[in-house]
Amino acid sequence: MRALVQTVSLQLRRLRKMPMLLRVVGGTIFIFATFTLLMQFPAARPESPYIAFLPVILLIGLLFDHGTTVLATGLAAVLSIYFLIDPYYSLTIARPGDVIGLGFFIGTALAGGGIIEMMRHAVEELAKSNVALSSAVNSVAAQGRLLDVILEGTPDLIYVKDVEGRFVHLNMAAAQVLGAPDAAAARGRRDRDFLDPAQAQLIEAVDARVISSGDIETAEEVVTSPDLGTRVYLSTKAPWFDSDGTIHGLIGVSRDVTERNAAVAALSDANAQKQLLLFDINHRVKNHLQSIVGLLSLAAARITDVDGARTALRAAATRLVVLGKVYTKLQIGIGSASAVEVRGFVEELCGDLASSIADPDKVSISVDIVDGLINSDKAVTLGLIVNELVQNALKYAFPGDATGCVHVRLANHGGAHQLTVDDDGVGLKTANRDGGAGQLLVRALVSQLNGQIEVSGSTGTRFTITLPALAAGIAD
């Protein structure tokens, strides 16, 4: 039935797209066919013969368009007056009742044709909306299937719990650790329903802290599984927010670190340098995972529609690029913690931003960065700050065909360091600059480094960020 309706709708759209002359000829044929029948069978004529044209005119409106309906109505009225209403073969209307009836006929025909035209437009718009909605639904469904593949393809335990600690969703790896036959068997139940009471109590205490505080928390949790025995998991848990900011529960990722912990214990008697490097790697991985979860949580909390989702994901992706840059520049030296060469790191980051956002014929980026090494954790935060400020300048400081330059500078400033990002664009007062999530993120990142930020400029914009010494390895 649905296929039949779609076929009929397609044919009607083709008729309405015919040239105007063909539509007029088609409408005329319908009117003259009706007129011929009325002339051939005078006994079957209604008292007001023009009324017989009304269904035909409405059909014309359905098949063609409102303009053809108007022409058909006029033609039917003329034929009725001249041939079908006494006195015949005259354009004179003798009876007042015929004048009223004919007026009613014309008004009804035109109004009916107009209503059909409006309904047709409404149906066409509805059809377009339905196609767009179907496309969006299919896209979301495809992304959902991809997410399921990712969740089931990872050995990490991934789960979602409500505010009462009941499982809302979990992958098969998590169900296996709980001893449940499948994920469905664990939904709606709690850790205490599967695990040792003491272990479950510790796990649920962490869950309660995350839900009550709204903060991300990472902790090691010991689980004695019926199938896997006693295992240790590094669990990162983040609050699960609704679109209005209400906490509905938590999202958790737990990685089996039993072997890792055993290796750490076995190497506890190694020399001090190996202990330092192992500690630094663990610390760096944990902090960077927290940064990734935090950025994605911030993006997810601001999503309200499909376009919003795309924008949020693009913003999160550009921020995650910073983490990749850190790892490409990572150096692990003898006698020092892991570090990043700051000049090459910032120059390459700004170069990527320029090639992906800026028009080189309009806007250039100059970079003046002091030589030296920076702790890898601080490099992530510094890179995110530079990423947000340079992106903001490239997007908003030079509207239209405006040209200019963005300057990025990191220099020694007494016993501290000073980062400046400035442009010679239209300035804060006239540019549509991002004063929302972007600047909030920058201020939060500056706060993480215990720094201070100042914003100035009217013909241009300057962000001045004063930071404590980033690393002893940065040269004067």
Residues 341, 257 share a domain: no
Work out the average pLDDT over 12-38: 83
Q: What CATH code is carried by the domain that includes residue 386?
A: 3.30.565.10
Work out the average pLDDT over 197-201: 91
HSE-CB of 275 using CA atoms within 13 angstroms: 8
**Which range marks the domain in which residue 194 is found?**
152-266
Q: How far apart are CA 255 and CA 221, in angstroms?
A: 10
Based on the number of CB atoms within 10 Å of its own CB, is 340 exposed (0-12), middle (13-18) or buried (19 or more)?
buried
Residues 458, 328 share a domain: yes
Work out the average pLDDT over 10-18: 71
Instruction: Look at residue 161 and tell me if it is in a domain.
Output: yes
Work out the average pLDDT over 279-294: 56
Is residue 209 predicted with pLDDT exceeding 90? yes
Instruction: State residue 206's pLDDT score.
Output: 93
Instruction: Look at residue 455 and tell me if it is in a domain.
Output: yes
**Whether the Cβ atoms of residue 369 and residue 408 lie closer than 8 Å to each other:** yes
Query: pLDDT class for 432, splitting at 50, 70, 90?
Result: very low
**Of 266, 297, 328, which residue sits at a domain end?**
266
pLDDT in tens, 256-268: 999 888 888 877 6
Residues 312, 250 share a domain: no
Residues 112, 81 share a domain: yes
Instruction: State residue 234's pLDDT score.
Output: 94
Residues 184, 122 share a domain: no
SS3 state at 318: helix
Instruction: Look at residue 140 and tell me if it is in a domain.
Output: no
**Of 103, 134, 165, which residue sits at a domain end?**
134
Residues 213, 94 share a domain: no
User: Which two structure tokens, joined as six digits, stand for 298?
Assistant: 């911030």
Instruction: State residue 335's pLDDT score.
Output: 46
pLDDT in tens, 139-174: 888 887 887 778 777 889 999 999 999 999 999 888
Query: pLDDT class for 277, splitting at 50, 70, 90?
Result: very low
* Neighbouring C-beta atoms of residue 247, cutoff 10 Å: 16
**Of 84, 100, 134, which residue sits at a domain end?**
134
Residues 370, 231 share a domain: no
Q: Which residue has the higher pLDDT, 331 or 62?
A: 62
For residue 395, report the phi and psi dihedrals to the nearest 5 degrees.
-80, -35
Highest-scoring range by mean pLDDT, 117-121, 204-208, 274-278: 204-208
Counted domains in the chain: 3
**Whether the Cβ atoms of residue 353 and residue 387 lie closer than 8 Å to each other:** yes
Whether omega before 96 lies within 30 degrees of 0, making that bond cis, reads no
Is residue 4 predicted with pLDDT exceeding 80? no
Query: pLDDT class for 201, splitting at 50, 70, 90?
Result: very high
Instruction: Look at residue 146 and tell me if it is in a domain.
Output: no
* Neighbouring C-beta atoms of residue 23, cutoff 10 Å: 20
Core vs surface per residue 52-68: b (16+ CB within 10 A) or e = bbbebbbbbbbbbbbeb
Q: What CATH code is carried by the domain that includes residue 161?
A: 3.30.450.20
Instruction: Look at residue 35 and tell me if it is in a domain.
Output: yes
What are the helix (H) ranges across 342-459?
A: 342-357, 376-396, 437-448
Instruction: Look at residue 319 and tell me if it is in a domain.
Output: yes
Would you say the pTM of this structure is higher than 0.85? no
Q: What angle do CA 175, 177, 179 make, to 5 degrees?
A: 70
Query: pLDDT class for 434, splitting at 50, 70, 90?
Result: very low
Work out the average pLDDT over 43-63: 85
- Percent pLDDT > 70 in the chain is 78
Distances in Å between the alpha carbon of 183 and those of 88, 166, 169, 188, 362? 85, 13, 7, 10, 55
Is residue 282 predicted with pLDDT exceeding 80? no
Instruction: Look at residue 243 and tell me if it is in a domain.
Output: yes
Residues 321, 454 share a domain: yes
pLDDT in tens, 238-254: 999 988 888 989 999 99
Is residue 85 predicted with pLDDT exceeding 60? yes
Q: How far apart are CA 61 and CA 126, in angstroms?
A: 19
pLDDT in tens, 303-324: 666 665 666 566 556 656 665 6
Residues 463, 325 share a domain: yes
Instruction: Look at residue 114 and tell me if it is in a domain.
Output: yes
Residues 457, 310 share a domain: yes
**Whether the Cβ atoms of residue 347 and residue 328 lie closer than 8 Å to each other:** no
Q: Which residue has the higher pLDDT, 7 or 75?
A: 75
Residues 158, 129 share a domain: no
User: Which two structure tokens, joined as six digits, stand for 387?
Assistant: 């990423």
SS3 state at 269: coil
Work out the average pLDDT over 422-438: 65
Query: pLDDT class for 9, splitting at 50, 70, 90?
Result: low
Residues 159, 120 share a domain: no
